[in-house]
Amino acid sequence: MNRTLSLLAIFVLAKALTLARLDLAQFLTVLPACLWQDLLVMLFYALIDRGTRRFPGIAWGVYACLVCYAGLNVPIARLFSTPVTWPMLRATRGTLADSIGHHVTLANLLPVVLVCVAGAILPIILWRLTHRFSSRVRTAAVAVVASSIALGPIAAARVELSAAHGNALFVLVASGLPRVEAEASHAAWDVSPLGSGRAEDLLRFRGRAAGRNLVIIHLESTGAQYLRPYGAAEDPMPNLSALSQHAIMFENAYAAYPETIKSFFAVHCSCYPALDTQAEDYEDVASPALATQLAQQGYQTGLFHSGRFMYLGMESVIRNRGFATMEDAGDIGGNRQSSFGIDEAATVRRIFSWLDTLSGDRPFFLTYLPIAGHHPYETPAGGPFPEQRDIDRYRNALHDADSALGALLAGLAARGLDNNSLFLILGDHAEAFGQHPGNIGHTMFLYEENVRIPYLIVAPGLIDEPIRVTRVVSQIDTAPTVLDLMGLSRPAAYQGRSLLDPELRMALFCTDYSQALLGLRDERWKFIHDLDSGRSKLFNIESDPDEKNDLAAQFLDRVTAYRAHLLQWSAAQKFRVLNPNTDAWSDP
């Protein structure tokens, strides 16, 4: 019994250390909701302890593993508002070594050591106490634990808690279970269930870019709110700011999933990502890629990535998608190597080498994925911002990406290729810096700082003045828009719509790196639904751009309609991705 009680004490200690920076006061007021998972894992361990009495080494081994795991998750949960989940564990590979190393600090190691030392000492202390407990005390303790486990989920349903409040092992196991049941269903998912109207008309550009070269640049971890054209006081990307003066700029553009690989799929295949899926599941999805469409029109196609295609199964997403040339950090080399990739200057030089080998009588389609902007925000030569905070180091990383953008544009101009090219420059996802509690990085939440991205269409000689478009758009609209600008037909399997069309549409997005979240933006409304807790949040982005004032209780009909729509969409999208050969793939 001493080991079992020690384990519970360790769980409580780990949780107290985790929540010390978050909301310890709330933790104390909702103790049953916070502890029921810990009690359940403790009860599971008690059964192991009892069943292995003849082999005490097994019980001690399991105890040691649980203590160490609880300790290791303290700094993780303090930083990301969640202990390790299966998607996080899968993403934690050598590619992220620099990011992981950035967080190996004394402040993060101390709580791990404290938990492990306490785990070694507590069984000795408690042995002196618990061997005197009477059978009545033991029976009462079991009754308290059982009732707490039974009432805990009920209490948790009445308060809003992050994954950091849960038990690390429980969260890991739960995150590996399906969150959505796949179900075949077809609808125009981007059409609001509450109706919508029309906005800015861009139909005058239809077919005007026919025969032009195409350049798509996926800006890594680039949030719209940090850029001058989108209202930021600082200007970390002056080349992009200059481009915005001769571009169609969408002010409310959204990533479909706050991760590079699935957002790449959404852009090039005009198909939403789905919950409970991995990159490998997208290899056979029957939504023709933009490069495939353009290759059939005679385009010379190339994909260049400053990172590594092997990360998180990206090969499955790009394979057989119409790119005749595909090169990443391993193919290109570079002057500066990191665990995540190479310097942008090396990639831009390699792009020029490729361009110089192309046939001059055929157009080209170039896709460029820089990595500058990704954590830990390291740059070869620093930048204009003092690096005292992560946000400033991030701005310098964006400045590095912008320098590469400027070099690419200058090189195209020197080759006389700029005036006959169409450029789409967009973020793959945004980046958070604690605007909401525990929201660091990009994958965990669906707030504006996670999913609102810059989105520019540039066509020298065709677009000569700034055109600011306020309606909501999505990454999945990219491929249909390109084809519309070039006067080519849109494949029936595409889920996106041309951005030249003035009809108002919704942007839908999801993530499941920790909590399984579904969201949408419908005109001024932003809606987020948590599948794990069943809670929903509603924000008026026009009056509350920082998403601080939840209006869900005031607009129940709207919440009900949005929730039903997203639940049906998530089930249908999972079915679509996991059943690539199904009939009737086209949406209405």
Higher pLDDT, 455 or 32: 455
What is the model's pLDDT at position 408? 98
SS (H, E, C) 62-89: HHHHHHHHHHHHHHHHHHHCCCCCHHHH
Minimum mean pLDDT among 139-148, 155-164, 357-366, 475-484: which range?
A: 139-148
DSSP helix/strand/coil, 294: helix
Q: What is the mean pLDDT of the chain?
A: 89
In the chain the domains, ranked by start, together with CATH numbers, are 2-175 (no CATH), 203-578 (3.40.720.10)
Kindly state the tokens that stand for 231: 């209202």
For the chain, state the CA radius of gyration: 26
What pLDDT score was predicted for residue 580?
A: 83
| CA dist., res. 427 & res. 35, Å (int) | 40
Give the separation between CA 258 and CA 508, rounded to whole angstroms: 12
pLDDT per residue as tens digits for the range 383-425 = 899 988 999 999 999 999 999 999 999 999 999 999 999 999 9
Question: Cβ(286)–Cβ(493) under 8 Å?
Answer: yes
Task: List the single range of 44-53, 248-257, 264-273, 542-551 with lowest mean pLDDT.
Answer: 44-53
Of 86-90, 187-191, 336-340, 405-409, where does mean pLDDT reach its minimum? 336-340
Lookup result for tokens 């991760």: 259
Q: Tell me: the pLDDT tens digits for 427-476?
A: 999 999 999 988 999 999 999 999 999 999 999 999 999 999 999 999 99
Cα distance between residue 457 and residue 467, in whole Å: 10
Poorest-pLDDT segment among 34-38, 139-143, 337-341, 558-562: 139-143
Range 84-106 average pLDDT: 79
Six-digit token string for 39? 């009690």
Number of H helices, E strands in the chain: 19, 15
Tokens of 106: 């004394």
pLDDT of residue 46: 84
Q: How many CB atoms lie within 10 A of CB 517?
A: 25
Average confidence (pLDDT) over 196-225: 95
Q: Give the DSSP H/E element, type plus range, for residue 346.
A: helix 344-355
pLDDT (tens digit per residue) in 157-192: 667 777 877 899 989 998 899 999 999 988 899 999
Is the predicted pLDDT of residue 131 greater than 70, yes or no? no
> Whole-angstrom Cα distance, residue 358 to residue 495?
32
**401 Cβ partners below 8 Å, 6+ apart?**
219, 220, 222, 237, 344, 370, 372, 373
Q: Are strands 421-427 and 455-458 parallel, antiparallel or unpaired?
A: antiparallel
CA–CA distance, 564 with 192 (Å, rounded to integer): 12
Q: Name the percent of the chain lying above pLDDT 70.
A: 90
> CB–CB of 462/205 below 8 Å?
yes
Q: Which residue has the tokens 């945004």?
A: 430
Strands 247-254 and 467-474: parallel
Q: What's the confidence (pLDDT) of residue 584?
A: 46
